[in-house]
A and B are shown apart, each in its own frame.
Chain A
């Protein structure tokens, strides 16, 4: 079950727990602890994918998230998930995956014809070829290209509820990213000094480079044992830091080893807040661009070393090595130690210490040599090696390369650090924090020391990420980073003898010969710098020739580094080839700027538990259950669920029945969603004068007044009523939609511009349930329920307000009307909503009371010409809506001077009017454009809201119409092209119903 390429050993696999899985329909075996990639390699599987553009066969190249090729489609309970990285996907029983981007399969792929005609498909091919005609892009070119290119296919089973993704929030004093020797030492030293430390490792075990080196095995085990015992330090493996947002906020993604087939969550998102961060993110091996460097079996030397050490998988029986640095020899020696043969080492250098060691082991080494061609298409069969002595063919079943190591500086860049070229490693390293005095590093700490409340995270770099070579040197880097975080006088290791001993017993680094940079070997055939995006060295040169010689341009023109792995193993090689083409040293160019996220993240992981019904909160009215039992159909208004109509019957009939009940008898509706703000204090009236355009300081106690609120730019913000309950006590209502915005606005205005006023604002929106009892018989019903208040028209006229007892509950009654009928708005504490509502319904039964929903409320207010969100769009001035008379003439208020500008009061602005169809049987549509018969393409305005009327025949609507008030009496066309309707309409006053307010005041 283990596969033919599995040999002894394997640090992370459990040989007692075999696992079976399927790839491309073939049942294969692996072990618990394997990744899909290691299991495929163990089974001798070479071709696992087809490339993006040329459909060339591709195999596994690397052992971690930097893998460019091994993207597979994973079949799971939620459907088919594309682009899953086989090198990080933990193997589980029953895993079913398939190669992608190929038809019929990755082994036999028809699309490979693209490779044969590749000369016709240069970089920028799509830009150049699919230009004309422009309209063909959408219909023809794009679908064709998408079918031919692209990666996997997403096929979600939407009915299958995925396991809830998890989000956790973590706080730490020190975040250490990367658990190689540098990260381990930094974490241990900080923890010993009493800091809360969070140590992240993207690998499934800690150790990183130390895992490849036998001499470090014992030290690593000891370090982890100490770490395990130490309080205050947490190690999270399989956890990748995705993004550094500054100010000490980070996100990390942890892959969970559970099986999705069992419904286990796959990922957990950590939102981390940490004062200090040590970036020990290491360096990644990079490829060498030589012809045929994409043939399956060409891999990174370090990757092959990891498959051997971790999973006991030998990627080849007779591998040929192509190297330029001493570090890569660790993998050679690991293979030798495992008793594996070797076809030899091709080293670009003349001589070196590691080369000498290899020769001592009896491994043939070709110095000053390079590989110029690869034999084999679906698998490596050998290579042509060129030395000073000439060329010769070497048989091999794998080709393991290392072009050096490039620091992983994405996170450092996200934290604002620049980068500079370091010749010794031939790569860019991040600027030292503080040295360049850039960004959120020591500047923050210094500002903190200076007494300011700076709260940016302190950044330290340690290990290979800053260009350090050698595991012991990296470890010392980690200790130095910790020491500089902890400050002077804190001994590293503290009082922990075990720890001091650990730090004192670092295996020494062997002397090493520096690398010799090699980027490209020229020869016949394609040399790839980006295997996932199929970008060759020739593409890079073409881009330079065509004027796309800036690295950012190169990236976009050739898509170099735009794949899921962001060019981790080849982008620098591409940059160096570009530099060469431009005749510059690479140091004079800069890498493209990495942004969050550092690796692809499933949306589900970002959403966490906030999915489906938890995506946003749902606000239910205090009376929700009553509405539901009364058969209400609900509608989402913002977060609120509001009763739309108390009927399941479709169409307008039930709505109009409810509206008619209000016009003819009495109705009751729930308006608890209105924003309600309590305004108290000696200066409450003056404050309201400042925030409303109208005057409220003169409002008598026991009265209410309609008010309009302007924005500072003079346009209408919100409207509502303000009632005065006492000398220093007002309560105001806002529209439902603006409840939160008005509260913020008032809080801002009070503190920023009215701080001298004695006034306190309290949001009481949720504390009060509020109902509108409306209709000619509303007084009769109200009188039966309300105690201690004379409701006669003389004693409690229109716009009266009072505290009262309603059905035994202390509350408030306001004689205000949105419907245009005599109405009482009754407010009671929310937890008493139900008995009061029921009492009103019960006492109203003999009067023919009906509960009415939002649709009927809308019908009533459109008839009456009252505005709501549809008209209060933020573009309308007070004058536009017919409120020119409301703003006070003296005293300051928000929006005062801006509202007086001529342009906001111009006669040609869109003004509120009402409309009726000339042919009464025709309907009006919201959004229909108003035009004249002679100029049918020039919109004069639009219909904002429309309803069938229960008072006059046919439909009636409100509209915003250019110079509308002047046009009353004219006939226009309401055009709704989407409905193919052109309705002749008559412009009428919005106050056509009961203009003298007799019903309201009666």
Chain B
């Protein structure tokens, strides 16, 4: 479970928040090209590393937070408001990449 340090309420459990998607996208202006709209609606990066996210503190201050979370370690490097621009910590703190994925296991067997 994530513990998100809300700038308004302090550190709180993830269950108080609702995830609202990728905060790294910019909503295209009205009348934007179809490709831009498609990009905004459907295309997402799936980074192994730092990811900028929207979290709404639904069971708290109801403020919308930008959260910079590491998708491997769940480390939260920074939290801010919608207008803040958050940057990842120094590269020396980049967690070690996880080992190559193990081979895909078989489906769970029956007994025996």
Contacts and interface: CB of A to CB of B under 8 A. Distances in A.
Given A455-B5, A748-B20, A126 B111 contact: yes
A712 interface: yes
Nearest to A248: B3
B63 A751 contact: yes
A624 B79 CA distance: 43
Contacts of B56: 744, 747-748
Nearest to B104: A552
Contact of A747 (B3, B11, B64, B78): B64
Interface of B: 1-3, 5, 11, 13, 18, 20, 27-32, 34, 37, 40-41, 54, 56, 58, 62-64, 72-79, 81-83, 89-90, 93, 95-96, 98-99, 102-103, 105-112
A440 to B, nearest CB: 5
A443 interface: yes
11 contacts: A126-B112, A142-B110, A247-B3, A438-B98, A440-B75, A443-B73, A454-B89, A456-B73, A548-B106, A555-B105, A559-B112
Contacts of A418: 99
Contacts of B109: 126-127, 556-557, 559
A416 B97 CA distance: 11
A247 B89 contact: no
A209 B25 CA distance: 56
Given A443-B75, A450-B90, A454-B75, A748 B64 contact: yes
Interface stretch (A144-152, A331-339, A698-706, A970-978): A144-152
A52 B110 CA distance: 13
Interface string A717-752: 000000000000000000000000000100110011
Given A126-B112, A443-B95, A550 B78 contact: no
B105 A552 contact: yes
A755 B32 CA distance: 21
Contacts of B112: 53, 121, 125-126, 145, 149, 559
A246 B82 CA distance: 26
A273 interface: yes
Interface stretch (A253-261, A283-291, A891-899): A891-899
Nearest to B66: A752
Contacts of A657: none
A452 B37 contact: no
B39 to A, nearest CB: 12
B11 A455 contact: yes
Contacts of B107: 556
Contacts, number: 145
A249 B2 CA distance: 8
Nearest to B18: A744
B75 A752 contact: no
Interface of A: 52-53, 121, 125-127, 130, 142, 145-146, 149-150, 245-249, 273, 416, 418, 436-440, 443-444, 446-447, 450, 452-456, 548, 550, 552-553, 555-557, 559, 593, 712-713, 744, 747-748, 751-753, 755, 891-893, 896-898, 901
Contacts of B93: 443, 446-447, 450
Contacts of B72: 439
A150 B111 contact: yes
Contacts of A452: 77-78, 89
A447 B75 contact: yes
Contacts of A247: 1-3, 74, 76
B95 A752 contact: no
Contacts of A454: 75-77, 89
Nearest to B109: A556
A751 B64 CA distance: 6
Contact of B110 (A145, A439, A555): A145
A896 to B, nearest CB: 6
B75 to A, nearest CB: 5
A437 B95 contact: yes
Contact of A436 (B77, B96, B110): B96
Contact of B54 (A246, A249, A752, A893): A752
Given A145-B111, A446-B93, A553-B106, A752 B77 contact: no
B30 A744 contact: no
Contacts of A755: 82-83
Most buried by B among A126, A452, A454, A892: A452
A437 B56 CA distance: 31
A438 B98 CA distance: 8
Contact of A744 (B28, B58, B77, B79): B58
A130 B105 CA distance: 21
Given A249-B13, A455-B11, A744-B20, 8 more contacts: A150-B111, A418-B99, A440-B74, A443-B95, A446-B93, A452-B77, A752-B64, A893-B30
B64 A712 contact: no
A562 B20 CA distance: 37
Contacts of B32: 897
A516 B96 CA distance: 34
Most buried by A among B30, B34, B73: B73
Contacts of A127: 109-110
Given A418-B99, A747-B56, A897 B111 contact: no
Contacts of B29: 892
A452 B1 CA distance: 19
A249 B98 CA distance: 22
A901 B33 CA distance: 12
Contact of B76 (A416, A455, A751, A893): A455
A752 to B, nearest CB: 5
A548 B104 CA distance: 12
